[in-house]
Structure 1
Amino acid sequence: MSDALDKAEAAAREAAVNTAAVQIALAAVELAKAAQQQPAPQACQHQHHQGRSGGEWLAIGGAVCVGSIGLAFASIALAIGGLSIAIVALVLRSMWRDFNKGSNRA
């Protein structure tokens, strides 16, 4: 009986060793599956903006042209306004001189 008991004990040891090896192998397979399921990290997280399209450049050019024309008209309006004020000032000065000459005669 001792022989049968020794054989059973050896079989139990071998099963224990095989079970540990199988568990390690299963853990390695699970680790490999988990590594495959994770997405690879991306190099950068921001979005790259493409260059401006032709339509955008046309719109920018049109806006600059309209703004320049508006600025030109505003400059002309200021010049006309300044000229008008200068003429009014000269006329008033002339009238003031004439008024003062007339009051000095009396």
Structure 2
Amino acid sequence: MSDALEKAEAAAREAAVDTAAVQIALAAVELAKAATAQQQPAHSTCQHERKPGRSTGEWLGISCAICIGGVGIAFASIAIAIGGISVAILALVLRSMWRDYQKGR
């Protein structure tokens, strides 16, 4: 019977040691969880949403619009220049006609 009692005492001591080891392991896990929880908010302190960048299609559309606008401005400038030349020629012709009319009087 004392042999059984010694076995029971040894089992109780072993269980106590195992329980302490399990408690230490659980404490280490909880400590790791707490450390991870403290580190995560440091990385996610930014509260605004980042806007996505423009896609390739959008950039192509913008560049085509700029090119077409540039060509339109070039044609408008040419039209204004032609109009100015036409007015200058008309003024010279009218002045010449006026002089001829004045001489004929």
Q: TM over 0.5, yes or no?
A: yes
Question: Residue deviations 1:37-87, cap 9 Å, x none?
Answer: xxx7x5233211222210011001110011011001101110110011011
Instruction: Tell me which residue corresponds to 1:90.
Output: 92
Three-state SS of the structure 1 residue aligned to 2:90 is helix
Q: Which runs of 4+ in 1 moved over 4 A?
A: none
Q: Could you say which structure has the larger radius of gyration?
A: 1
Instruction: Tell me which residue corresponds to 2:55.
Output: 53
Structure-1 separation of matches of 2:101 and 2:47: 82
TM alignment of 1:58-69, pairs within 5 A: 58-69=60-71
Structure-2 separation of matches of 1:45 and 1:95: 79
Which structure's residues are more often helix, by fraction? 2
Specify every segment of 5 or more residues in structure 1 that has no aligned partner in the other structure, as ranges: 1-39
Three-state SS of the structure 2 residue aligned to 1:60 is helix
Q: What's the C-alpha RMSD, in Å, of the aligned pairs?
A: 1.9
TM alignment of 1:12-27, pairs within 5 A: none
Instruction: Tell me which residue corresponds to 2:103.
Output: 101
